[in-house]
Amino acid sequence: MATVTDKRRQILDAAVRVFARQGFHTCRVADIADEASVAYGLVYHYFSSKDEILDTLFLQRWGMMLEAITEADRSHHSAQGKLRAIAGFIVDSYRHNPDLMKVIIVEVTRAANTFGRTHLARIREAYAQIAAIVARAQAEGVFREEITPEFAALAFYGLIEQILSGWIFDPDPVRDDELERAKDMIVLTICRGLEA
């Protein structure tokens, strides 16, 4: 009984590695099966299509992301503290499983013509929650009002994604202290800006 789940998990984990390494379009279902050390056909026993594997990976991870944002929003932190919690969660996600984050970002959130469009609504939930945090901070007079909450949310998330992109492109693994510092720099940049 546990076998079922094991093999399924095995396939998902293998898919992450293969998608990260070769990209979704470039890899074949056979590559996933090979990487997972399971028979070709078994992939189709657990998933109805290659797309569904990526959908599953994204939905699982993005669900955790939304929970993390909700969690952050529920906390008693300041607006800046909430953004710091979110940035921290995303960076930690990368630390914990960089391949998965690469796949989520490269193959889904930035894939405007394919999976990005499919999951658009779900992706925007995150932006909306972040925007809500910003809006409330503006109402409290903590954040400036010239910048719309929606714009701010995109800016915040886009900034983070680009930093992660830099790491993703980098052949060398990123050092832990660099990850840690990045969390602070993200928040500092988005809250206080570059100007001295």
Partner DNA sequence: CATGAATGAGACTTCATTCAT
Partner DNA sequence: TATGAATGAAGTCTCATTCAT
Sites of contact with DNA (CB under 7 A): 3-4, 6-7, 26-30, 38-42, 44-46, 48-51
- The binding track of 80-119 with respect to a copy of itself, each residue x by CB under 8 A or -, is x---------------------x--xx---xxxxx-xx--
Residues in binding contact with a copy of itself, number by CB under 8 A = 58
Contacts by 139-143, CB closer than 8 A, 24 or more apart: 140/79, 142/78, 142/79, 142/80, 143/79
3-class SS of residue 88: helix
Place of tokens 């939930």: 125
- Chain mean position to CA 23: 16
Q: Report the residue number, 27 or 43, with the smaller CB distance to a copy of itself.
A: 27
- Rounded least distance, CB 188 to DNA, Å: 43
CA dist., res. 193 & res. 60, Å (int): 33
Tell me the chain's radius of gyration from C-alpha atoms: 18
**Minimal distance, residue 168 CB to a copy of itself, in Å:** 6
Tokens of 151: 């714009």
Q: Which residues bind a copy of itself (CB under 8 A)?
A: 22-26, 79-80, 102, 105-106, 110-114, 116-117, 120, 134, 137, 141-148, 150-152, 154-163, 165-166, 168-169, 182, 184-186, 188-196
